[in-house]
């Protein structure tokens, strides 16, 4: 009897041990839903090592543990997850979901290398984090725009100096900034809602902040709510009202995140879209679509008219100068890849801080103080700069190649479809 009891106790102990088996990534059943859950948890864990890696999260609260796991351990689990994603068979309708998870998961391994301060060239970092490589722009190409601006801008001095003198007359007075910005947001929201159905409760709050390396930021909180922050460290020019309202709000980041939550997280139960890692392929679409969306919501002629009728008067600026202001802005846009050129050379160790600032002053046509802020952005966010200009061009080409009639309604339909069903850069090629 005593022996029988001992055996029974041993069996009970063994069964108890079996019931406490720890499940690793490899042990998790291989379904896309389970792998997506692992992806979210690992993304959040990587975010514990960087204050801005997690741009937005509205999944289960208990998944955000606050535990700072060793990077070597995270790397092993991410590698295992990627191997499972590569092995799993998916139906044709889920192929894009799988591909998105694969590309996003790969980017985490690269970001861990950056956290560990491992050297990665600018182009490799761009490709591995954002799924795209910026064209190799040189001064010779950028100088063409400078020559054109040289003939347009009055006064004497360098093109950069004259540009800054010229745009001084288009600064929004501090006491009028809130009313101008809110008018721009209201108009972009009204126009967007004509083509995109948003949740009834969608809303946002605007804050004016200082001491940031960016000019505007959307913090998406979930449930179709955003906090939009506008940096007032430097003068805000009238063109930035529509740009920021559309880029951060409608149909930019606020709408993009709202549609992902509505269609993918709530509609399909694809939990991977409840987390947005900033330094990942998702950002190229986020920033590129937000920039392209400015022209979608405000076609050039309509933007000119709206600014002339509404924003310039609200800001107390001379509305008769709208046309010349935007003619100069259009030429200046040809210099948009200057940021990428400077960032590439700086991060690859070809130029120092002072040389980077000088190039930014010359080719982005800003003051030295503003150039120093921009260099601060490059230091903090590295290859992220490609997402604005290259992202915009990739999104524009993708949508306009699909457009058959080229009508405004068709462009809106293709644009909103892309926001609701995101693609990375390679998927849009």
3-state SS of 176-190 is HHHHHHHHHHHHHHH
d(CA 129, CA 169): 40
422 and 293, same domain (yes or no) = yes
51 and 153, same domain (yes or no) = no
State pTM to two decimals. Answer: 0.91
The strand pair at 54-57 and 275-277 is best described as antiparallel
Q: Is 69 exposed, middle or buried (0-12, 13-18, 19+ CB in 10 A)?
A: middle
265 and 363, same domain (yes or no) = yes
Say if 2 falls within a structural domain: no
224 and 83, same domain (yes or no) = no
Say if 275 falls within a structural domain: yes
d(CA 40, CA 48): 13
CA 150, 151, 152, 156 torsion: positive or negative? positive
345 and 276, same domain (yes or no) = yes
If you search the block for the tokens 């524009």, which residue do you land on? 396
- Helices 95-115 & 122-130, crossing angle to 10 degrees? 140
The range of the structural domain enclosing residue 101 comes to 25-118
Contacts of 195 (CB under 8 A, 6+ apart): 409, 412, 413, 416
Q: Which of 72, 87, 118 is the last residue of a domain?
A: 118
145 and 114, same domain (yes or no) = no
Integer Rg of the chain from CA: 25
The strand pair at 225-231 and 216-222 is best described as antiparallel
The tokens for 49 are 């090592």
- DSSP 3-state assignment of 220? strand
Q: How far is CA 170 from CA 154, 216, 237, 329, 335, in A?
A: 15, 19, 6, 12, 20
180 and 39, same domain (yes or no) = no
Is residue 85 within 8 Å of 26, Cβ to Cβ?
no
Say if 6 falls within a structural domain: no
Residue 27: per-residue pLDDT: 53
189 and 310, same domain (yes or no) = yes
Neighbours of 244 (CB within 10 A): 26
> Residue-wise pLDDT tens for the chain (429 aa)?
433 333 333 333 333 433 333 334 445 568 999 999 999 999 999 999 999 999 999 999 999 999 999 999 999 999 999 999 999 988 888 999 999 999 999 999 999 999 999 999 999 999 999 999 999 999 999 999 999 999 999 999 999 999 999 999 999 999 999 999 999 999 999 999 999 999 999 999 999 999 999 999 999 999 999 999 999 999 999 999 999 999 999 999 999 999 999 999 999 999 999 999 999 999 999 999 999 999 999 999 999 999 999 999 999 999 999 999 999 999 999 999 999 999 999 999 999 999 999 999 999 999 999 999 999 999 999 999 999 999 999 999 999 999 998 899 999 999 999 999 999 999 998
Q: Which of 54, 87, 118 is the last residue of a domain?
A: 118
Quickly list DSSP for 375-424.
HHHHHHHGGGGHHHHHHHHHHHHHHHHH-SS--HHHHHHHHHHHHHS---
Q: What is the largest CA-CA distance in the chain?
A: 106
- Reference 428, options 111, 96, 85; nearest CA is 96
Say if 193 falls within a structural domain: yes
Say if 130 falls within a structural domain: no
If you search the block for the tokens 């741009």, which residue do you land on? 55
Say if 128 falls within a structural domain: no
Say if 132 falls within a structural domain: no
- Reference 336, options 130, 137, 124, 121; nearest CA is 137
d(CA 293, CA 251): 6
Domain count, the chain: 2
Say if 10 falls within a structural domain: no
Is residue 327 within 8 Å of 124, Cβ to Cβ?
no
């Amino acid at each position: 009897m005593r022996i029988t009891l001992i055996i029974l106790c041993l069996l009970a102990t063994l069964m108890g041990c079996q019931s406490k088996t720890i499940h690793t990534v490899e042990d998790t059943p291989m379904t896309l839903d389970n792998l997506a859950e692992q992806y979210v948890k690992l993304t959040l864990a990587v975010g514990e090592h960087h204050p801005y890696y997690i741009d937005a999260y509205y999944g289960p609260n208990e998944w955000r543990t606050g535990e700072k796991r060793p990077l070597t351990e995270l790397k092993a689990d991410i590698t295992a997850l990627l191997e499972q994603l590569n092995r799993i068979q998916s139906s044709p309708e889920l192929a894009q979901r799988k591909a998105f998870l694969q590309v996003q998961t790969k980017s985490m391994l690269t970001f861990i290398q950056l956290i560990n301060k491992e050297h990665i060239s600018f182009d490799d970092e761009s490709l591995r984090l954002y799924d795209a490589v910026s064209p190799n722009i040189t001064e010779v190409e950028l100088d063409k725009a400078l020559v054109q601006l040289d003939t347009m801008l009055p006064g004497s001095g360098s093109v950069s100096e004259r540009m800054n003198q010229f745009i001084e007359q288009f600064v929004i007075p501090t006491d009028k900034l809130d009313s101008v910005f809110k008018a721009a947001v209201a108009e972009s929201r009204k126009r967007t809602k004509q083509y995109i159905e948003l949740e009834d409760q969608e809303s946002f709050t605007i804050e004016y902040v200082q001491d940031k390396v960016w000019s505007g930021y959307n913090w998406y909180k979930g449930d179709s709510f955003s906090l939009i922050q506008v940096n007032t460290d430097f003068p805000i020019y009238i063109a930035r009202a529509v740009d920021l309202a559309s880029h951060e709000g409608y149909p930019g980041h606020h709408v993009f995140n709202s549609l992902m939550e509505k269609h993918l997280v709530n509609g399909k139960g694809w939990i991977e879209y409840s987390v947005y890692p900033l330094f990942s392929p998702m950002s190229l679409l986020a920033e590129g679509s937000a920039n392209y969306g400015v022209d979608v919501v405000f076609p050039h002629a309509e933007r000119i008219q709206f600014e002339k009728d509404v924003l310039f008067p609200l800001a107390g600026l001379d509305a008769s100068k709208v046309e010349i202001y935007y003619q100069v802005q259009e030429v200046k846009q040809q210099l948009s890849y200057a940021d990428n050129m400077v960032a590439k050379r700086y991060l690859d160790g070809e130029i120092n801080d002072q040389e980077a600032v000088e190039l930014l002053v010359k080719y982005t046509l800003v003051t030295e103080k503003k150039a120093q802020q921009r260099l601060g952005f490059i230091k903090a966010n590295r290859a992220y700069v490609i997402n604005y200009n290259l992202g915009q061009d990739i999104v524009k080409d993708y949508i306009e190649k699909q457009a058959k009639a080229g009508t405004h309604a068709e462009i809106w339909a293709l644009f909103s479809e892309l926001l609701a069903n995101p693609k990375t850069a390679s998927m849009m090629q």
